[in-house]
Amino acid sequence: MKKMINNPRNLNIILLCGCISFISSCDSLDDLLVVSNPSELQESTIDDPALTPTLINSIEGAMVDAYDYRIIWMGSMFTDQQITGVNWEQTARLNQRIVNYDESTSSGMFAELHDLTVMADMVVEKLKAGLIPNASSDARTAYAQAYAGYGYIFLADILCETNLKVQGTVYQPIEIYEMAKDRLKDALTIASSAGDDDIQNLARVGLARANLNLGNYSEVISNAGAVSPDFKWWVQYAGEDNPDAPGNNMWTSISGQNHRIGVHSTFLAGGPDNWLETDLEPFLTDPRVQHWPYWRQGHNALSPLYTPYQGLRYSGYNGETIADGGQPAEYERTDDILLADFLSATHDYWEAIDEQGSDQAGVLAFVNERRLVGNQEAVDLSGTDLTMELRMQRGKDLFLGGFRLGDLRRWLRGGTDMFPSGAHPIAEWGEYGDATCFPIPLPEYDGNTNLSKPG
């Protein structure tokens, strides 16, 4: 399914108030909407049922804005997925696992993730308060609540901790995953009443993801196991079906002379030992992580960038490999990105099984199934070796799809540190730092008197 909403960029009429400290400056849900063009829409009409499509589209717009740029590109910046070629000092520091709370990289991430959750929560509340009849059995309510749930997953995956609205209470990721779970359970119930199979599957995939991070493995298995095998839910970018949407930021990151993204040595064809090598055509055998067979420099005239091609999470993926003489798909501004699908749920399922220590034969079979997709020979592994290979296959299947930071943080909570460390692949940048998340930013401390500034 592409998704139920077209033209999500109706944010030109409805906008969240504020920019970064919007959570502190809005006293109620009614204050969360301001009118950018009063001649088109007066604030008093926000509760008009005729505007329900605009409210729903505003949630989609917030997701479109956040997903490619913040969640995927910026969110993977200090993981082992990408090398940045950006010349901006703050972005270079992120790629070195150095993140400061008083920089725009932190404030931008905080603001856009909260834009999504506040918008979705507000719309759900208005729908349930009588904006539409029978909201508890309407697919629009289920949709808004499901997006709220995913928004809270992103908060927990990416932010070190966060406050919500005007509160001074600061919540930790585990608490935020619980909030995501509550919303997704409600979305599943409403979607079931509405008879909407796609939103039910969307909620189930989200529930599996939230519960995996909570260590509720039986719930992961139950929810992931119920997802339809053909299920796919896309975040849609500019194209024939959605001409008003923005272009996919990944296209921006690889195009032109100032390209700014390359594949990290962890996922380089042939492995880290091939870093700074050229003529890597024979090693480019895995269709899920294809990249240029040589490196080049882009925006900062420093970073060696092995420009990536589209992976499984992108709508233009074609499964071709350079090693076989194929032409993998380059990123296009019209590419859609998977938010949720059967494959990501299946990875959650088998990770939960592995964490329980049960059905190791099944885990091994799944690993070898995914290795076959990557044109890799079957392995016979067990214990920690099998767990690490399962995680590597997850990394390839979900490559640049918005999962890696949350995955690395979950495994770190479990006692395994898989963040890149030691010498950075770019020798001039020295050793990696130790950041694992984005902090609450300075503008939020300045705008929210209930918070105490660190230090």
- Listed by start position, the domains of the chain span 10-195+435-447
Bridge partners for 341 per DSSP: 232
In the predicted model, what is the mean pLDDT of the chain?
A: 90
Distances (CA, A) of 162 to 149, 159, 246: 16, 7, 28
CA distance 441 to 421: 25
Is the CA virtual torsion 250, 315, 72, 78 positive or negative? negative
Q: With 70 as the cut, is the pLDDT of residue 37 above it?
A: no
Provide the whole-model pTM. Answer: 0.91
Q: With 70 as the cut, is the pLDDT of residue 426 above it?
A: yes
Q: In the structure, what pLDDT confidence band is assigned to residue 198 with cuts at 50, 70 and 90?
A: very high
Note whether 351 and 394 are within 8 A (CB).
yes
The arithmetic mean of pLDDT across residues 145-161, rounded, is: 98
Q: Could you give the 3-state DSSP secondary structure of residue 234?
A: strand
Q: Which amino acid appears at position 274 of this protein?
A: N
Q: Which fold has domain 10-195+435-447?
A: 1.25.40
CA 185 to chain centroid = 20
Q: In the structure, what pLDDT confidence band is assigned to residue 225 with cuts at 50, 70 and 90?
A: very high
Quote the percentage of the chain above a pLDDT of 90. Answer: 82
Q: With 80 as the cut, is the pLDDT of residue 19 above it?
A: no
Q: With 80 as the cut, is the pLDDT of residue 346 above it?
A: yes
Question: Quick one: tokens of 90?
Answer: 């703050």
- What secondary structure does DSSP assign to 354-411, as a single string? HHHT--HHHHHHHHHHHHHHTT-------HHHHHHHHHHHHHHHTTTSS-HHHHHHHH
The arithmetic mean of pLDDT across residues 275-292, rounded, is: 98
294 DSSP assignment = S
Three-point CA angle 14, 18, 22, nearest 5°? 110
CA distance 336 to 73: 15
Q: What is the CA radius of gyration of the chain?
A: 22
